[in-house]
Each structure stands twice: as structure tokens, then as C-alpha cells.
């Protein structure tokens, strides 16, 4: 009887392991018993060496921890955030309740922010991150090269069978061997084709130092720039605030050599990039990355996105000053907090904590209709809220040219799309208390 918490994703690693075993070892059994083309010694050791490399790299890509924010790094990130708070826009992960470092994303499966997260791979049941990306790339490389070599061996046997197709059946391979050869050939061809496409795409990302999620963010930013260009350079955020949208360059493309070196663990030794037992990147790395000089130092990535702002407005300067003011005693501070808490309970809240805005074209079309019809029915316009309750209908369901949305990469879409908050005031108060 299956457990209630069983998920189909738990079969991914056994399925991939079965596929590797089937192609690597049953093919050798077939070659040994295929009399028309004897199994050569160089084929034996090449296939087994490639299989060993694939096993090692796949194991490490699946079971190496994708990373978590250490306390030492966490404190340094907060200190840097205190120093740059006035110049750099900060992201806050409401799931981890911590500052979200650059290039980190919250994985809905791993339940934490992953450093330089590329995507959560369903076939390794693990995140492809700053720490697992080198192992994942080596796995793709050896899988494509190894299965490519196996493909040549299968082609040679298949060609011999095709040439002898007019001979009597008793002079050729048995029916079982023909079926085995056909299945090996089809499965290996389809697998190597799919992995080759994935390898080429991953190499492209490695050369330009972009993750899959960042490619989505780049395309999203280009869409916002096109929208703003039509609307005078500004887009409207919750609460009626208008945000200037201008073209922003991707900051982490630091040159092909530096990009590849950083992606493959930081080593300049090319041989180590291909060594299956190469060391995992230092656990203290992955939370700060070198940037190019295309943008001002205060510009951060991803660029501002009005639809990712979860609150209609930031607290007023008066409220902020009340929260950050000094008190004569702890009792006075507790009493002031309770007064503010009581006021918050009676304060009207027209918006939920998470602002799931309707899709842009729906809001834009409604705005155009209102402008044409004028303000003849204010009640009707108020009922047409720009916010939606279902995530599948909101702006967070925006898809790139390949039809992908954020959740398709394994990220927690709600935590990731609506992460444009400044650091919460409670954290600012604690940081202020530590500095005093």
C-alpha cells in the first residue's frame, strides 16, 4: 500500500538510474552476443568509463546540497544591507523571513532560498544552484558524449543488419536480438537528442552567466520596457504610484572566460571542469557576485517591476519615525507597540498582504474603456478592481516566449514574484538596536 505522502517525483532518480543501467549494461550484453560484429576491447573500456563518469556526476548532481544561507553569511548580508539601504533596492523573502541575497530564489520544493538558483530539476530531484551547477553540467556533458559514442556502436550493428536483410533469417541475428537492438537504438537516440539540446542551452547560459530564471527575468524586463515606452515611460504600481521603467543591462555578464570559470566552481583549471570528482564550490561563496560596469553601482537586479510590489504604499514617514524612535524604558516601548497594534486592528485594509494584480492587458483595456466612457459610473469603476484572487489569472502568470512562468522553474511563485518589499520595519528596528 502506497504512503499518503508519496509523490510521483520520488520515482525520478530510480527511473534515470534504470535508464542509465539499461543503456550502459544491456547494450554490452547485446554486443557480446552479436556475432556479426565482435565486441572490441576498446569499446568495452570506453563504454564503462563513460558510464562511471555519468554515475558519479549524476549522483553528485542529485545529492549535493544546493545550499542554504549560513548564519555567518546571513549576518554579513544584513550588515551590507544596512550600509547600502539608502542606495540599493532590497528584496525580502517572506518564507525565510530574511533578506534575499542577489541571484537567490525561494524553491517551493527545497523550502528555502537557493543561491544562484537555475531551476529545480525534476530528474535529479534537486536544485541546480551555485553549488550543484558544475556537477549538473558535467553530468550533461558525459551523458551526451557517452551516449553519442554508444550511438555510433549501435549504428555500426544496425548497418550490418540492414546490409544482410536479404539473407536467410537463420544466418542473421535472432528475433530477440533485433528487438533489443531496435529498443536500444530508439531509446538512446531520443535521450541523447533531448540531452544535447539541454546541454547546448546550458552552455549558452554558462557563457553569458545567466540562469534559466534570470533569462525569464530578462525577457520580463524587456516586456515592461515595451509597455512603458507606449505609456510615456512609466507604469502604475499598487496604490497609484508611478514607477519609471528604463532599459537595464544584465549586471552579471563579466566576460566569457570569467563567466565560465565562475559557473564551473571558480577554478581556472580547465581539466577540473571535466573531472567528475572535482570539489564542490566553497560553501561561503554564492551570496555575492561580481558585476560589470554597465550600470550605476546602486542599480540592482532584477529591475523594478510594478506588478511585483505587494503593498499599495510604504508606511508613511510619520509611522516610520514612530517605530524607530527611542523610548525611555522597555515598558514605554511595549505600551507604544500595543497602541499601534490596537490602531492597526481598527484600520481599514482594502488590500490583502499579497497583491495579485490582474493581467496587464486586462487592466489596460479596462482603463481605455473608462477613458472613452468617462467617469459616468464611479461605482462600477470601483467594482472593477485591478487585483485578482486567483494566481492563474494574475500578472504573476505572465509567460515568456517559450510559455514558461516562474513556477515552471520550481520556485515558490508567490514568494518570488511578490518580493519587492523593503526590509520589514521590525527587522530595521532590530538592526538599529544592534548598532546602538
Nearest to 159 by CA among 135, 181, 141, 139: 181
Beta carbons of 176 and 164 less than 8 angstroms apart: no
Q: Phi/psi zone of residue 234: left (φ > 0), alpha (ψ -120 to 50 degrees), beta?
A: beta
Q: Give the catalytic positions in this structure.
A: 121
Residue 114, beta-bridge partner list: 105
In angstroms, rounded to a whole number, what is the distance separating the alpha carbons of residues 192 and 151? 9
Residue 392 per-residue DSSP state: G
In 374-424, which ranges are continuous DSSP H helix? 378-383, 413-417
Cis peptide before 168 (omega within 30 of 0): no
- For residue 244, which phi and psi values (nearest 5 degrees)? -75, 125
Locate 56 and state its grid cell: 558519479
State the Cα–Cα distance between residues 100 and 106, nearest whole angstrom. 9
CA distances from 310 to 109, 191, 347, 358, 425 (A): 23, 42, 18, 13, 15
What φ, ψ does residue 96 adopt, rounded to 5°?
A: -80, -15
Among candidates 67, 54, 202, which has minimal Cα distance to 126? 67
Q: Cα–Cα distances in Å, from 271 out to 53, 201, 277, 285?
A: 14, 22, 11, 21
Tell me the C-alpha distance between 88 and 299, whole Å.
6
3-state secondary structure of 100: coil
- Calpha distance 148→54 (Å, rounded): 13
Amino acid at each position: 500500500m502506497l504512503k499518503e505522502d508519496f509523490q510521483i517525483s520520488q520515482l525520478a532518480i530510480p527511473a534515470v538510474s534504470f535508464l542509465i543501467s539499461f543503456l550502459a549494461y544491456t547494450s554490452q550484453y547485446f554486443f557480446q552476443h552479436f556475432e556479426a560484429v565482435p565486441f572490441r576491447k576498446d569499446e568495452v573500456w570506453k563504454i564503462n568509463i563513460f558510464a562511471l563518469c555519468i554515475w558519479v556526476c549524476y549522483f553528485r548532481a542529485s545529492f549535493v546540497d544546493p545550499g542554504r544561507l549560513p548564519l555567518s553569511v546571513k549576518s554579513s548580508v544584513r550588515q551590507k544591507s544596512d550600509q547600502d539601504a539608502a542606495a540599493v533596492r532590497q528584496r525580502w523573502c517572506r518564507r525565510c523571513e530574511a533578506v534575499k541575497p542577489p541571484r537567490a530564489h525561494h524553491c517551493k520544493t527545497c523550502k528555502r532560498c537557493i543561491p544562484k538558483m537555475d531551476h529545480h530539476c525534476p530528474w535529479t530531484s534537486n536544485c541546480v544552484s551555485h553549488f550543484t551547477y558544475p556537477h549538473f553540467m558535467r553530468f550533461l556533458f558525459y551523458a551526451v558524449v557517452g551516449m553519442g559514442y554508444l550511438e555510433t556502436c549501435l549504428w555500426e550493428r544496425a548497418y550490418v543488419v540492414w546490409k544482410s536483410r536479404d539473407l536467410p533469417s537463420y544466418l542473421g541475428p535472432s528475433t530477440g536480438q533485433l528487438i533489443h537492438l531496435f529498443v536500444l537504438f530508439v531509446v538512446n537516440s531520443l535521450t541523447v537528442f533531448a540531452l544535447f539540446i539541454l546541454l547546448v542551452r546550458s552552455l549558452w547560459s554558462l557563457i553569458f552567466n545567466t540562469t534559466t530564471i534570470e533569462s525569464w527575468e530578462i525577457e520580463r524586463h524587456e516586456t515592461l520596457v515595451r509597455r512603458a515606452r507606449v505609456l510615456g515611460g512609466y507604469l502604475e504600481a499598487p496604490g497609484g504610484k508611478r514607477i519609471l521603467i528604463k532599459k537595464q543591462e544584465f549586471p552579471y555578464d563579466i566576460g566569457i572566460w570569467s563567466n565560465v570559470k565562475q559557473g564551473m566552481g571558480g577554478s581556472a583549471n580547465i581539466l577540473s571542469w571535466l573531472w567528475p570528482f572535482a570539489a564542490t564550490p566553497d560553501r561561503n561563496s554564492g551570496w555575492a557576485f561580481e558585476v560589470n560596469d554597465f550600470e550605476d553601482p546602486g542599480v540592482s537586479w532584477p529591475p523594478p517591476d510594478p506588478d511585483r510590489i505587494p503593498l499599495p504604499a510604504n508606511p508613511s514617514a510619520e509611522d516610520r519615525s514612530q517605530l524607530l524612535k527611542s523610548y525611555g524604558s522597555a515598558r514605554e516601548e511595549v505600551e507604544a507597540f500595543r497602541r499601534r497594534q490596537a490602531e492597526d486592528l481598527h484600520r481599514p485594509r482594502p488590500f490583502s498582504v499579497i497583491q495579485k494584480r490582474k493581467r496587464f492587458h486586462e487592466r489596460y483595456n479596462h482603463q481605455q474603456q473608462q477613458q472613452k466612457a468617462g467617469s459616468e459610473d464611479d461605482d462600477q469603476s470601483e467594482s472593477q478592481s485591478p487585483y485578482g484572487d486567483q494566481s492563474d489569472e494574475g500578472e504573476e502568470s505572465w509567460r515568456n516566449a517559450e510559455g514558461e512562468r516562474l513556477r515552471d522553474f520550481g520556485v515558490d511563485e508567490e514568494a518570488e514574484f511578490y518580493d519587492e518589499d523593503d526590509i520589514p520595519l521590525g527587522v530595521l528596528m532590530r538592526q538599529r538596536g544592534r548598532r546602538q
